Structure 1
Amino acid sequence: MNKTVLYARVSTADQTLQHQRTQAEAAGFKIDKVVADHGVSGVTTKLAERPEGKRLFDILRPGDTLVVRWVDRLGRDYQDVSDSIRHFMRDGVIIKTVINAMVFDGATKDPIQQAVRDALIAFMAATAEAQATATKEAQRAGIAGAKADPKTYRGRKPSYDRETFDLVTGMLATNAGASAIAAVTKLSRQAILRIRDDRAGAEKALALWEM
């Protein structure tokens, strides 16, 4: 019997799996199994080198569905994300993303569809690497600013943690409204709108308090 597996990466000790699972289930996925890595950097560690990530290569079978919040969960950079997706497709596994509802299926034999699919994989993998780079730069900027002026630069502590921030940005990417996001995250509409209107600033503020 085919199964649907949610793979999640939880990068800090304060995060939980609940937001990622809630978002996946809200998107209509019925999750049979959850596989998660805790405290592992997605920017520096390949999927196959993560304690739980490497289990995916063993437990997924032809016809299974692998669900991830977005393709950035499947690798540390462009090459790793591309290689992971293509490996699973060769094994007959269907990859689906919660954000933007992307589907990567190796079953298609039509050359035009294959070309479109492969181009999409390349684009999504490149976007994932660009987003990871932007996140690192925002964190560096925040830390550098805090070191330069630790008393005044840090500012007010955000009302959200990293996991909630990722959930908000993920739901914004699916064009969810502020009220709907507030109901899921328990944040105020004002906080959500601030993240929407100035993601870089929100990212920097969060980075200051993650030091």
Structure 2
Amino acid sequence: MTQTILYARVSTADQNLDHQLSQATAAGFIIDDVVSDHGVSGISVPLAERPNGRRLFDKLRQGDTLVVRWVDRLGRNYQDVTDTIRHFMRQGVVIKTVINNLTFDGATRDPMQEAVRDALIAFMAATAQAQAEAIKEAQKAGIEAAKGDRERYRGKKPTYDRGGLDKVRDMLATGSGTSEIAKAVGVSRQTVLRIKSDPAAAETALARWGL
């Protein structure tokens, strides 16, 4: 009997995993089981070395479906993400994303379809790593700016925390409206628009305040 498993991951202790399941359910996925890792980096810890991520390699069988919010939940390292997706496809597992509703299936034998699929996997994995590096640089810049006259450089404290910023990004990526996001996260519409227009500045603001 085939199963659909959601893999969810957050990298810090103050983030919440619940919205990843809520998003998957809202997108129409019927989830049989959830495997999750809490407070685990997607950059430095490969999926196979995470406390629960490694369980996927034992649980998933041919015909099963692995659902993730986006490929960055599998990891933010290009090589690890591409190796992981290709491993599961070789096992006959279908990988689906909630955001963008993408499907990666190893069943196709058409060379053109394979080429398009592999190029998309590579692009998304590279994007996940690039985003991680951009976040790291923004945080570094925020920390540097906060040195010295701390109150002068920190500016106004953000009305959102790490979990709130991630939720705004998730909802923006799935096409949610500004008012809907503001209500769900508990911030103003202006805050949502600022995050949308300059996500790096939002990261910097969190770093300046140590959030």
Q: Same fold (TM over 0.5)?
A: yes
User: Given that residues 17 and 38 in structure 2 are in contact (C-alpha distance below 8 angstroms), is that contact kept between their aligned partners in structure 1?
Assistant: no
Partner of 1:94: 94
Partner of 1:137: 137
Partner of 1:19: 19
Distance in 2 between residues matched to 1:43 and 1:154, nearest whole Å: 27
- Bigger drift between 174-183 and 25-34 goes to 174-183
Partner of 2:207: 207
For structure 1, list consecutive stretches of 5 or more residues without a partner in the other structure: none
SS at match of 1:153: helix
- 1:173 pairs with 2:154: no
Length, aligned pairs only? 211
Q: What TM-score results when the alignment is normalised by the length of structure 2?
A: 0.93
Superposition pairs for residues 1-211 of structure 1, below 5 Å? 1-210=1-210
User: Given that residues 77 and 129 in structure 2 are in contact (C-alpha distance below 8 angstroms), is that contact kept between their aligned partners in structure 1?
Assistant: yes
Deviations 1:4-43 (A, max 9, x none): 2111112122111112222222222222211111111111
> CA 1:109/1:143 → structure 2, altered by over 3 Å: closer, same or farther?
same
- Bigger drift between 116-125 and 18-27 goes to 18-27
In angstroms, what is the RMSD of aligned CA positions? 1.6
- Bigger drift between 160-169 and 93-102 goes to 160-169
For structure 2, list consecutive stretches of 5 or more residues without a partner in the other structure: none
Paired amino acid for 1:26:
A
Identity %: 68
Deviations 1:89-132 (A, max 9, x none): 11111111111111101111211111110111111111111111
User: Given that residues 99 and 171 in structure 1 are in contact (C-alpha distance below 8 angstroms), is that contact kept between their aligned partners in structure 2?
Assistant: no
- Bigger drift between 92-101 and 175-184 goes to 175-184
User: Given that residues 76 and 125 in structure 2 are in contact (C-alpha distance below 8 angstroms), is that contact kept between their aligned partners in structure 1?
Assistant: no
Q: What TM-score results when the alignment is normalised by the length of structure 1?
A: 0.93
SS at match of 2:41: coil
Runs of 4+ with deviation above 4 angstroms: none
> CA 1:30/1:209 → structure 2, altered by over 3 Å: closer, same or farther?
farther
Distance in 2 between residues matched to 1:184 and 1:92, nearest whole Å: 37
